[in-house]
Amino acid sequence: MTRAPTKSTDSAVRRTNSGVGRVLVAVYAIFALAATARASVQLLTRFDEAPVAYLLSALAGLIYIVATITLARGTRASRRVALVAIIIELVGVVSIGTLSVVDPAAFPRATVWSIYGIGYGFVPLVLPILGLVWLWHTRAH
């Protein structure tokens, strides 16, 4: 209803914040909240226990915030930023996930990305893939 007036011709870039994209933004927003809140608690109350894991938690939160805002804006410039953020997110969840399996002591279930996001129903692993598929699907023709 209050959608920004855009010409949705085939040559125009399709908006990432419309249709099913709104669901993606909603899920990203929840993870932005969850990861940021979790990292804040960790950093404020027990930073010295596992500084690396907690800083990675904060990075994850930041990436979710950037992805949420850029996907919600849905402009040409914002989708470029979204692409970078989501690629970092995918690399992050795969590498932290793998590290946490190989060396559990280093990541005592401390980040949203531990064991590929098992604490969040593996949504953290699926989300960047859906994000990339959505960016591909809404690309300019």
- The residue behind tokens 């990861």 is 35
The burial of 43, by beta-carbon neighbours within 10 Å (0-12 exposed, 13-18 middle, 19 or more buried), is given as middle
What token pair was written down for 48? 């010295």
d(CA 127, CA 54): 21
Stretch that binds another protein, among 41-49, 52-60, 81-89, 90-98 (CB under 8 A): 41-49
**Using rule CB under 8 A, residue 76 touches another protein:** no
- Please tell me whether residue 78 binds another protein under the rule CB under 8 A: no
- Contact between 40 and another protein by CB under 8 A: the answer reads yes
- Tell me if 23 contacts another protein by CB under 8 A: yes
Angle between the N-to-C axes of helices 51-73 and 21-46, in degrees from 0 to 180, rounded to the nearest 10: 150
- Start-to-end CA distance of the chain, whole Å, equals 25
Q: Does 25 bind another protein (CB under 8 A)?
A: yes
Q: Which of 10, 13, 14, 45 binds another protein (CB under 8 A)?
A: 45
Q: Which stretch binds another protein (CB under 8 A): 26-34, 77-85, 108-116, 132-140?
A: 26-34
Which stretches of the chain bind another protein, using CB under 8 A? 1-3, 18-20, 22-23, 25-27, 29-30, 33-34, 37-38, 40-41, 44-45
